[in-house]
Chain A
Amino acid sequence: MNNEANQPAKRSNPGGLRVDRENRETVGEPFIEDPRMTCRNVDVFYGDKHAIINVSLDIGKNEVISMIGPSGCGKSTFIRCLNRMNDTIDTCRVRGQIKLDGRDIYDESIDVVPLRAQVGMVFQKPNPFPKSIYQNVAYGPRIHGLAQSKEELDEIVETSLRKAGLWDEVKDRLDQPGTALSGGQQQRLCIARAIAVSPEIILMDEPCSALDPIATARIENLIDELRHNYTIAIVTHSMQQASRVSQRTAYFHLGDLIEIGPTEIIFTNPKHQLTEDYITGRFG
């Protein structure tokens, strides 16, 4: 979208003073009108380690929100809270309130299985199942009973692969193992697999970190298209990527949500000193 991130001159903040480094209150606009998901005072612990500290933010409809921050700051931990993937980690405890369409997803009456079908996830490392390409995509719809017949299933597989931009490359070899694809193809396969269960929200944890620039560009285009039908939360280490694909950006630092707001503001005019340091590469 823009390259201002690389041009410090435009980022001057003549109006106000920067928020001091020591201040860990969230600055910016964490809340929006008519949100899809709302997170309030979320704390996450691994055993005794306090990995996410009192984070509150909203995720809007049909928006791409990116989460950036130095390694180990808790981006993955936070995003994994949104579909309760942290439940699979024994030592992990989540406190606070996370609501999807007004329902608390950590409520006891909520079953994680439909929740995760509704909030899909794409992981940092492509992780296709040891099955054929077709079976990889068909797996989700099959376990959720989304297709009544073989034809319907075929159709879901085809549309998902088309949306992920992989159809033309694999349509002649759907019965080959998904693990035999290249890294970028595997990642698109994983995206196709995630869309096949028609989630409403897709969480992506550094989906491009293992990919070359061309594959990355394809996935970024894909995210841009998917935005019209889905809500997407993406963790990324690339500030260019965040500025290209997302409408809002959240900056995490050692478990705190430091700053959140519209992407171009975060990258052109950050209010917090830590954000400024990070995006100008002065961190660490």
Chain B
Amino acid sequence: MAPSTLFLSILVLAVAAYVIGRKRSYSVVGGARKLRELHSRPTYYGMLTALGCGIPALLILGIWQAFEETVITRLITAGLPENIRTLPESRLNLIINDVKNLVSGNIVSKEVDPAMQAAADHYTRLQSISHASMAVVCLVLGIMAIAIIRKIITPKLRARNAVETVTKIILVACSSIAIFTTLGIVLSVLFEAIRFFKAVAVTEFLFGLQWSPQMAIRADQVGSSGAFGAVPVFAGTLMISAIAMTVAVPVGLMSAIYLSEYATSKVRAAAKPLMEILAGIPTVVYGFFAALTVAPVIRDSGGLMGLDVSSESALAAGVVMGIMIIPFVSSLSDDVINAVPQVLRDGAYGLGATRSETIRNVVIPAALPGIVGSILLAVSRAIGETMIVVMAAGLAANLTANPLQTVTTVTVQIVTLLVGDQEFDSPKTLAAFALGLVLFVATLFLNIIALHVVRKYREQYE
């Protein structure tokens, strides 16, 4: 029986188990009339039976599948002729691969030699034995589980509690997947970053003012020694995010206030989705807009004022990025402002406060935690944004406070470091991980600060 068929059979068995368990609960208590004497409702007995039947069988199936291949490979390696078995590891692996290809019917590079053919047949045989025994074990286990649980179903059996415990364990398992994935990513980034810091000193990376990661690949190349001072990159990120926030926060907040406090419900119903469309536009399109429309306008108007503006400027990228994140600020803030209870507004109006006084002194403070949250979300979006910057702000890592110059950001540098064919152990590529680590730490801190701020205001305002 193929594993997929087996999987389906187990599911079918579990459904059957549900029905059996449910029926059993009715019969042990003596009919539907006396259901009250049952500790839990009949569905829980059904579910308990189904879980007891399905989970062990599926677990066995999973573990079996995970180890089957290794075990079979061991076995056929042992069965190979002496002269092949003693080959060096890498050659042996190739041959085993060929055997596997032969089994799955793929054409092999060489003539099929009889020893290999024998090995392949052996493999197929072992595999079918394994599948058959797996099916038997799983199904027998499932059926036994049904029989046992059916036996132990009594009116006193606390089926609901058992099912709830199992459900809880499943929920915990699911949430730990997310946690462990994050942990895994962090660790791998950390690991690579440590390799980078073996080549380049931490202090140089964090405080160096020169960023030019081109390394000489061959010893005879000249001019690319590699400098990994990340300050210009951080500064660029900071500047562009700051410009973006200067655009997005006032505009977003004010449109939120307009939408929630001044607009009639009709206007709001129409305007809010329209604004949210902004968030749905692909960032590449924004990049276009920034590079082809906004940047030239800025350059030309700068030129008119006698300023020296480069054709790719932090200002262009920052402004367009700000426009992109307006809906993050406005939509969320609008929601939290709307959630401020009407009685609070009434209280202020009842004292003779004007609408703007009410908004400034009562509504905004009450909504502040949510507003701060929405702004921080927008900030992390701005820091993480890449496309617009690539297209509109350039790649040159200038250390400058002038928004009219070309700058670059952390994310852009990560992309340029990893694009194309790269060795995965040169400082150049590893630098990307170091940048990623810094980015991660920065957003983490931002989130912690955000949580702290929000909690503090909660205490004050609840």
A binds B: yes
Tell me the A residues contacting B by CB distance below 8 Å.
83, 85, 88, 90, 112-118, 120-123, 125, 127-131, 139-140, 143-144, 177, 179, 190, 193-194, 197
Which residues of A lie under 8 Å from residue B348 when comparing CB positions? 129, 139
The distance in angstroms between the C-alpha atoms of A179 and B365, with both chains bound, is 13
Which residues of A lie under 8 Å from residue B365 when comparing CB positions? 129-131
The distance in angstroms between the C-alpha atoms of A115 and B361, with both chains bound, is 20
Contact of A177 among B341, B346, B460 (CB under 8 A): B460
Chain B, residues 85-111, CB within 8 Å of chain A (1/0): the string is: 000000000000000000000000000
Query: A150: shortest Cβ distance to chain B, in Å?
Result: 18
- Asked if A85 contacts B350 (CB within 8 A), the reply is yes
The distance in angstroms between the C-alpha atoms of A83 and B350, with both chains bound, is 8
- Asked if B350 contacts A129 (CB within 8 A), the reply is no
List of 7 A-B pairs having minimum Cβ-Cβ separation, nearest first: A117-B352, A130-B461, A121-B350, A116-B352, A127-B343, A140-B351, A127-B347
Which residues of B lie under 8 Å from residue A121 when comparing CB positions? 346, 350
- Asked if A114 contacts B352 (CB within 8 A), the reply is yes
The distance in angstroms between the C-alpha atoms of A83 and B349, with both chains bound, is 10
Pick 6 A–B contacts, CB within 8 A, sort by A: A90-B265, A112-B352, A127-B341, A127-B344, A179-B461, A197-B351
Interface residues of B in 338-377 (CB under 8 A from A): 341, 343-354, 357, 361-362, 365-366
Which residues of B lie under 8 Å from residue A85 when comparing CB positions? 346, 349-350
- Asked if B346 contacts A117 (CB within 8 A), the reply is no
Query: A73: shortest Cβ distance to chain B, in Å?
Result: 20
The distance in angstroms between the C-alpha atoms of A121 and B352, with both chains bound, is 10
Q: Given A143-B351, A144-B352, are A123 and B357 neighbors across the interface (CB < 8 Å)?
A: no
The A/B interface has a contact count, at CB < 8 Å, of 80
Beyond known contacts A123-B343, A143-B352, A177-B461: 8 more, CB 8 A cutoff: A116-B349, A123-B347, A127-B341, A129-B347, A129-B366, A130-B365, A143-B351, A194-B350
Query: A164: shortest Cβ distance to chain B, in Å?
Result: 14
Q: Does B264 contact A (CB under 8 A)?
A: yes
Tell me the B residues contacting A by CB distance below 8 Å.
264-265, 341, 343-354, 357, 361-362, 365-366, 460-462
Which residues of A lie under 8 Å from residue B354 when comparing CB positions? 113, 143
Which residues of B lie under 8 Å from residue A83 when comparing CB positions? 350
The distance in angstroms between the C-alpha atoms of A86 and B110, with both chains bound, is 90
Query: B458: shortest Cβ distance to chain A, in Å?
Result: 10
Which residues of B lie under 8 Å from residue A130 when comparing CB positions? 344, 362, 365-366, 460-462
Which residues of B lie under 8 Å from residue A139 when comparing CB positions? 348, 351, 353, 361
Query: A19: shortest Cβ distance to chain B, in Å?
Result: 36
The distance in angstroms between the C-alpha atoms of A120 and B353, with both chains bound, is 11
- Asked if A127 contacts B346 (CB within 8 A), the reply is yes
- Asked if B352 contacts A115 (CB within 8 A), the reply is yes
- Asked if A120 contacts B350 (CB within 8 A), the reply is yes
The distance in angstroms between the C-alpha atoms of A185 and B348, with both chains bound, is 18
- Of chain B, the residue at the smallest CB distance from A124 is B343
- Of chain A, the residue at the smallest CB distance from B341 is A127
Which residues of A lie under 8 Å from residue B366 when comparing CB positions? 129-130
- Of chain A, the residue at the smallest CB distance from B354 is A113
- Of chain B, the residue at the smallest CB distance from A88 is B349
Contact of A116 among B264, B351, B461 (CB under 8 A): B351
Query: B373: shortest Cβ distance to chain A, in Å?
Result: 16
Query: B163: shortest Cβ distance to chain A, in Å?
Result: 41
- Asked if A120 contacts B346 (CB within 8 A), the reply is no
Which residues of B lie under 8 Å from residue A122 when comparing CB positions? 350
Which residues of B lie under 8 Å from residue A90 when comparing CB positions? 264-265
Query: B221: shortest Cβ distance to chain A, in Å?
Result: 64
Query: Which of A88, A112, A129, A131 neighbours the largest number of chain B CB atoms within 10 Å of its CB?
Result: A129
Query: Which of B265, B347, B349 neighbours the largest number of chain A CB atoms within 10 Å of its CB?
Result: B347
Query: B371: shortest Cβ distance to chain A, in Å?
Result: 13
Which residues of B lie under 8 Å from residue A127 when comparing CB positions? 341, 343-344, 346-347
- Asked if B353 contacts A143 (CB within 8 A), the reply is yes
Q: Given A127-B341, A130-B460, A179-B461, are A140 and B352 neighbors across the interface (CB < 8 Å)?
A: yes
The distance in angstroms between the C-alpha atoms of A121 and B350, with both chains bound, is 5
Query: Which of B349, B354, B365, B462 neighbours the largest number of chain A CB atoms within 10 Å of its CB?
Result: B349
Which residues of B lie under 8 Å from residue A114 when comparing CB positions? 352
Query: Which of B357, B365, B460 neighbours the largest number of chain A CB atoms within 10 Å of its CB?
Result: B460
The distance in angstroms between the C-alpha atoms of A112 and B352, with both chains bound, is 7
Which residues of B lie under 8 Å from residue A88 when comparing CB positions? 345-346, 349
Query: B102: shortest Cβ distance to chain A, in Å?
Result: 74
Which residues of B lie under 8 Å from residue A112 when comparing CB positions? 352
Contact of B351 among A131, A177, A179, A193 (CB under 8 A): A193
- Of chain A, the residue at the smallest CB distance from B458 is A130
- Of chain B, the residue at the smallest CB distance from A114 is B352
- Asked if A116 contacts B350 (CB within 8 A), the reply is yes
Which residues of B lie under 8 Å from residue A115 when comparing CB positions? 352
Query: Which of A83, A90, A113 neighbours the largest number of chain B CB atoms within 10 Å of its CB?
Result: A113
Query: B318: shortest Cβ distance to chain A, in Å?
Result: 34
- Asked if B461 contacts A123 (CB within 8 A), the reply is no
- Of chain B, the residue at the smallest CB distance from A177 is B460
Query: A190: shortest Cβ distance to chain B, in Å?
Result: 7
Query: Which of B343, B344, B350, B351 neighbours the largest number of chain A CB atoms within 10 Å of its CB?
Result: B350
Q: Given A139-B361, A143-B357, A177-B461, are A129 and B344 neighbors across the interface (CB < 8 Å)?
A: yes
- Of chain B, the residue at the smallest CB distance from A193 is B351
The distance in angstroms between the C-alpha atoms of A130 and B456, with both chains bound, is 13
Q: Given A177-B461, A179-B462, are A197 and B343 neighbors across the interface (CB < 8 Å)?
A: no
Query: A82: shortest Cβ distance to chain B, in Å?
Result: 11
Query: A238: shortest Cβ distance to chain B, in Å?
Result: 21
Query: B168: shortest Cβ distance to chain A, in Å?
Result: 35
Contact of A194 among B264, B341, B351 (CB under 8 A): B351
The distance in angstroms between the C-alpha atoms of A139 and B348, with both chains bound, is 9
The distance in angstroms between the C-alpha atoms of A140 and B362, with both chains bound, is 12
The distance in angstroms between the C-alpha atoms of A123 and B362, with both chains bound, is 16
Which residues of B lie under 8 Å from residue A113 when comparing CB positions? 352-354
Query: A252: shortest Cβ distance to chain B, in Å?
Result: 21
The distance in angstroms between the C-alpha atoms of A115 and B347, with both chains bound, is 14
The distance in angstroms between the C-alpha atoms of A179 and B460, with both chains bound, is 9
- Of chain A, the residue at the smallest CB distance from B353 is A143
Which residues of A lie under 8 Å from residue B265 when comparing CB positions? 90
